[in-house]
Structure 1
Amino acid sequence: MSGVPRFDHVVVDDLELVTAFFVDLGFERSSPMRLEGEWVDRVVGLDGVHAEMVTVNASDGAAD
């Protein structure tokens, strides 16, 4: 098997640019979601976290 078989999380500085890159490769994009609140602070270990998240899925239905 060649290529990247799977990835779960990627942290980026420019979400729109990276999302556009994956869409150009044929991935399907979800609507953006905003992550914030006590549960995110607890998971990340920082206070006051605000993040945007987009998922991309292969057009054949394979996730990420």
Structure 2
Amino acid sequence: MIERMDHMGIVVDDLAAAAEFFVELGLELQGEGPVEGRWVDRVVGLDGVRAEIAVVQTPDGHGRLELTTTEG
């Protein structure tokens, strides 16, 4: 049984489908868009990464899930 989830990331092939799946499970879409730059390169451990992300969260606002698809 999951007692708490603060922030978790999942890499997916189809960002829109994954976000829709989690919204249908009851999570709420908080935002989506591209991220890139040195800080992303550092976090991912690769140079020149461009990622598209969507963030969904639990209705109580305590747990977040970051869905990511990358290219580059």
Normalising to structure 2: TM-score of the pair?
A: 0.72
* Partner in structure 1 of residue 42 of structure 2: 42
Structure 2 match to 1:13: 13
Q: Which runs of 4+ in 1 moved over 4 A?
A: none
Q: How many residues align?
A: 63
**In structure 2, distance between residues paired with 1:11 and 1:4:** 23
Matched with 1:56 is 56
Q: Percent identity among equivalent residues?
A: 46
Whichever of the two has the greater Rg, that structure is 1
Query: Gaps spanning 5+ residues in structure 1: where?
Result: none
Partner SS for 2:42: helix
The root-mean-square deviation of aligned C-alpha atoms, in Å, is 1.8
The aligned amino acid for 1:37 is: G
Runs of 5+ consecutive residues of structure 2 not aligned to the other structure: 65-72
User: What is the alpha-carbon distance in structure 1 between the residues aligned to residue 51 and residue 23 of structure 2?
Assistant: 21
